[in-house]
A and B are shown apart, each in its own frame.
Chain A
Amino acid sequence: EAQVTQNPRYLITVTGKKLTVTCSQNMNHEYMSWYRQDPGLGLRQIYYSMNVEVTDKGDVPEGYKVSRKEKRNFPLILESPSPNQTSLYFCASSRDRGYGYTFGSGTRLTVV
C-alpha cells in the first residue's frame, strides 16, 4: 500500500530535550515536505526536499532541522524544543513539487 508513515503519532516532551519525528514513504517520490498545523493558522510549510541531499526552508523553519540522506526518509529534528513548537505535524511526499501530495497520519507534539 502506498503510504507515508510518521512516527510517533503522539509525543509529550520537555523543553530542551532533543527529539526526532521520523517520516518514510514507499512511493519513490522525490519531493518531501513537513508542515505544522496550528489553530487559526492552517498548515504552514516548515522544510521541503526536492531530492536526496537537497533541502530548503519553507515558511516557518526556525527551530527545526531536516535531513534527506535517503530518498524514502525525511526526518524532522527539534534540537531544543520549546512550548511554541507544540503543534500537529504532517509529513507529505509527492512525485514532484505540485503533482499531488500524500500525507502521513500526523504527529501531535506537546512541549511542556
Chain B
Amino acid sequence: AQKVTQAQTEISVVEKEDVTLDCVYETRDTTYYLFWYKQPPSGELVFLIRRNSFDEQNEISGRYSWNFQKSTSSFNFTITASQVVDSAVYFCALSPIGGGGADGLTFGKGTHLIIQP
C-alpha cells in the first residue's frame, strides 16, 4: 500500500519569507508519479506539478521549486518570496504508473499554509 506523510499540519510565515513544505512517501512500486496540489479557500484542487520516479532533477517554476530525493523518499516544495495569495492547503500525492489495482492517487493530509501580510 502507498502512504504519503505531510508532517507539517500548519505553517504560518510573514509575506516575502521563503517556506518549504515537506512530503515523505512510501511505496512498493518501482515506478510512480508524485504530485503537488493547491487548494485555495474557494475549495477547488489546483494541479501544480507531476514528477515521475525516474527523473530526480529539481524543478523550478517562477517562485515555486521542488526537490525530489529518491534516496530519502521525499518530494519537498519551496515557495520563495511568499505572497498572501499563496495562502492555501497544499497536498502532496503519489500514484503508481500504469497497471491495475486499487492504488490510485494517494494524498497526504495536507499542510495549511498561512501567509501573513
Contacts and interface: CB of A to CB of B under 8 A. Distances in A.
Interface of A: 31, 33, 35, 40-45, 48, 50, 56-59, 88, 90, 92, 96-103, 105-106, 108
Contact of B108 (A31, A42, A50, A96): A42
A106 B43 contact: yes
Nearest to B6: A42
B102 A98 contact: no
Nearest to A45: B104
B104 A33 contact: yes
B107 interface: yes
A57 B109 contact: no
Question: How big is chain B's contact interface, by range?
Answer: 20 to 34
Is chain A's interface secondary structure helix, strand, loop, or mixed overall? strand
Given A43-B107, A59-B102, A103-B44, 15 more contacts: A35-B107, A43-B91, A45-B106, A56-B102, A57-B102, A58-B102, A97-B100, A98-B96, A98-B97, A98-B104, A98-B105, A99-B33, A101-B35, A103-B37, A106-B43
Interface in B71-117: 91, 95-100, 102-110
B84 to A, nearest CB: 23
